[in-house]
Amino acid sequence: MTRAFIIYAVLASSLLFTASAEWFVGTVSTSGGQTPAISLDSSGLPRIAYGRLAQGAKYAEYNGTNWSTEFIYEAYYGSCEYFDIITEESDVSHISFSYCGCVYYAVQDPALDSWSVEWPLTSYGEWNSIGLSSQNYPGICFYSYVKNLQFEFWNGSQWTTQIVDAGTDTGNYNSMLREGANEAFVAYSMTQPTAGLKYANRDDSEVWHTVFVDTSMTEEPIGISLVRNGNGYPCVSYTAPGELRYAEWDGSAWNVETVLSLATGDAKETGANVYDTSLALTQYDHPRIAHCNLSGDSLSYSWNDGTGWQTESIFPVGGGGGDLDLALDSQDRPHIAFCAGQSGGLMYAYNDEAAGIEHNEAGILPINFNPLTNPFYGSLNLSFNLPEPCQVELTVYDLQGREVASPLSEYRSQGSNLFSWTPDTLLPCGGYIIVLDALGRAVSEKVVYLK
């Protein structure tokens, strides 16, 4: 499905927006844009780390009116690439990148208005991703020169390292998150002895545990992007040969969905130099994936609000383009950094309206909807608040979008309402999407059914 009307402006130092519920795309820099990574500051404004061919690592920041760019690290030969960025609540950004096969770490010093750049433990590797602990200590996962997955972290006094997984050709296309003082989570690919998507978690005692997520492919998955939902369960976007896939842990098993395939004419190209999907979850835990379509010639966006996947094309990036990264702001509006084809320029795409059924137009009162017991045993207790009396429909779908129950269809009064649903005894345990439809609007929540 394509609904985007593109407004494209080449503005090296500024990007102007008008009020529209559509995509806006502009150029941040015409002199660089390799493997960009994006994060948002406390005001929801974008910050982008990226490479400039044979010149170093750069940083771009948007202040609401104009873009400003600066060097993080100036290189005298070779290229900086594989960027990742995360920004603290205090608006200090941390960046990891690779330069000539070495993994680097950079952090802002707001007092000096400068960057501090380190080469921790003289690490050799690539495909790095960064996360922060609860103390804002950095940790970096990377594919090492000995072809395994390593985790390097600052413990408050020094850098130290751990091997996450030592299988042959393990750790390409990794994506990492950190939580608490010691916990970390990473999704990554493996080539030998089994090609597949893997997931590892580091517990509070600093021990790593690994598991296969998807082995139904003949080549390693690429374009891996990891997030965790409101229940703390991992969700991953990635590509298998000819397919864009999404995997989600429901508390007891991994559920794998094919979002797009070559048969639809809109799947992302696979290959050694394709890095991009990027996954984010809305405040309702609904997935949003930025990706490239067949041959990498168009930036695309896919989403699922509980009733199936939808996709739209955003911008023609040209052959060799992409290298994208996605972030959602507090209103679930997408912000995407990407590279523009053969020109290699840094691009930025933004949509001023959250796509999907969750969005309410300005001036329309929201329908508040909340599962009171989640995960639930026996019965699911729900509450919802209606701005006026109306007919209410409640429908339950499984994670493949199939309707499994319609427990409520009746006229309900204005204000707070309660409802209890007891599933059929034959309904299996697992994740389900509850969709409440009222006043021509629909809201949904994911729940987990346990017996």
Residue with tokens 């400068």: 114
The Cα 245–Cα 247 span in angstroms is 7
- 260 lies in the same domain as 294: yes
- 323 lies in the same domain as 389: no
CATH of the domain at 441: 2.60.40.2550
| Average pLDDT of the segment spanning 189-217 | 93
- 163 lies in the same domain as 272: yes
Above 90 in pLDDT, residue 70?
Answer: yes
What's the pLDDT score for residue 325? 95
Above 90 in pLDDT, residue 218?
Answer: no
More confident residue, 362 or 218: 218
Name, of 85-89, 269-273, 376-380, the range with top average pLDDT: 85-89
pLDDT band at residue 342, thresholds of 50, 70 and 90? low
What's the pLDDT score for residue 343? 59
CATH of the domain at 319: 2.120.10.10
What's the pLDDT score for residue 3? 32
What's the pLDDT score for residue 264? 52
Residue with tokens 């400003």: 68
What's the pLDDT score for residue 19? 26
What's the pLDDT score for residue 175? 96
Q: Are 353 and 359 in contact (CB under 8 A)?
A: yes
| Final residue of a structural domain among 351, 384, 403 | 351
- 335 lies in the same domain as 189: yes
**pLDDT tens-digit readout, 12-58:** 333 333 223 478 888 898 888 889 999 999 999 999 999 987 789 99
Mean pLDDT score across all residues of the chain: 83
DSSP string spanning 262-275?
GGGT-PPPPSTT--
In-domain check, residue 402: yes
- 271 lies in the same domain as 204: yes
- 103 lies in the same domain as 136: yes
| Final residue of a structural domain among 351, 385, 411 | 351
Q: Which amino acid is it at 170? A: T
pLDDT band at residue 253, thresholds of 50, 70 and 90? very high
- 345 lies in the same domain as 244: yes
| Average pLDDT of the segment spanning 243-253 | 94
- 320 lies in the same domain as 384: no
What residues have CB less than 8 Å from 285, skipping those under 6 apart? 229, 230, 231, 445, 446
- Count of domains forming the chain: 2
Above 80 in pLDDT, residue 1?
Answer: no
User: What strands, in cross-sheet order, belong to the sheet with 159-165?
Assistant: 125-132, 138-144, 149-154, 159-165
Q: Which domain holds residue 414?
A: 368-450
What's the pLDDT score for residue 275? 46
CA nearest to 257, candidates 306, 301, 201: 306
- 308 lies in the same domain as 390: no
- 429 lies in the same domain as 292: no
H helices of 299-379, where?
none
In-domain check, residue 20: yes
pLDDT band at residue 217, thresholds of 50, 70 and 90? confident
Question: Could you tell me the pTM of the whole model?
Answer: 0.74
In-domain check, residue 356: no
What's the pLDDT score for residue 319? 57
What's the pLDDT score for residue 138? 97
CA nearest to 441, candidates 370, 375, 372, 369: 369
Above 80 in pLDDT, residue 92?
Answer: yes
**pLDDT tens-digit readout, 396-436:** 888 766 789 999 999 999 888 999 999 998 999 988 888 88
- Measure the CA angle with vertex 208, ends 249 and 198; round to 5°: 45
